Amino acid sequence: MNGSTIHLYGANIDTDVILPGKYLNLYTPEELGPHCLEGLDPSFIQRVRTGDVIIAGSNFGTGSSREHAPIAIKAAGISCIIATSFARIFYRNSINIGLPVFECADIVAAVKSGDTIEADIAKGLFTVNGAVFQAKPFPPYIQDIINAGGLVPFVKMQKKT
């Protein structure tokens, strides 16, 4: 597996800076992706490559419930987000749309922007600069939604049963 690049941010990154309010009348991934992190890091969208990883401090995705924020992050090509902790709604939204999110405080303190990361998303196992980090496992109910590929296929499966 080729390594991906880390984009490191601080604590309390709010969904307004991830996807500014003026774009909330848009809703498709194609429209939202180009505005990802526009309020915080306007050149991010030029630097990001498919498969890259966002790492951040505590309470990532705080504030507005806008699902547009994780949709934009996923559409920009980010493969997963690792943070010390997440705001509840952002966390659920990410799981629901199939954007992997992991809690792992140790990795946040150990890396810098531009570092290369090897990510085993299925196992929540990450390697940076030779060091290996294991993210917290998901509660069983959430793991079922992830296994289904998000809430849409999960609900479809439930409807059949």
Partner 1 sequence: MGFTMTEKIFAVHAQSRQARAGDIEILTPDVVLLNDTSGTITVEQLKKMGVDRLFDSEKVVLVADHFSPPKDVTSADAINLLRGFGNKFGIKNFYESGRHGIEHALLPELGKVGPGGLIFGADSHTCTAGALNACGVGFGSTDLAGVIATGELWVKVPRSIRVDFVGQPGRFVTGKDIILSLIAKIGVDGALNAALEFGGSGLANLNIDERMAIANMAVEAGADTCVFEYDEQVAQYIAQSGWAARQPVMPDADADYLARHTIDLQQLTPLVAVPPSPANGLPVAQVAETIVHQVYIGNCSNGTITDLRQAAQVLKGQTIAPNVRLIVVPATSAIYRQAAREGLLEILSAAGAGISLPTCGACFGGHMGILAAGEAAISTTNRNFRGRMGHADAKVYLANAWVAAAAAVAGKIVDPLTIAPLAGRKELA
Which chain residues interact with partner 1 by CB under 8 A? 12, 14, 16-17, 20-22, 24-27, 39-40, 58-59, 62-68, 70-71, 85, 87-90, 92-93, 96-97, 139, 141, 150-152, 154-156, 158-159
Tell me the closest approach of the beta carbon of residue 99 to partner 1, in angstroms: 11
Q: Is residue 49 within 8 Å of 77, Cβ to Cβ?
A: yes
The nearest distance, CB 127 to partner 1, in angstroms, is 29
Considering the complex, state which of residue 65 and residue 127 has its C-beta at the smaller distance from partner 1.
65
Report, in Å, the least distance between residue 33 CB and partner 1.
14
Instruction: Give the integer Cα–Cα distance in Å for 36 and 50.
Output: 13
Which are the contacts of 10, defined by CB distance < 8 A and separation ≥ 6? 56, 57
Q: Pinpoint the alpha helices (H) of 76-131.
A: 88-97, 105-110
Nearer to partner 1, 87 or 128 (CB): 87
Which residue in this structure is represented by tokens 């405080």? Answer: 105
| Close Cβ partners of 72 (under 8 Å, ≥ 6 residues apart) | 18, 19, 29, 32, 33, 35, 36, 37
Q: Residue 130 or 160: which CB sits closer to partner 1?
A: 160
Q: Minimal distance in Å, beta carbon 89 to partner 1? A: 6
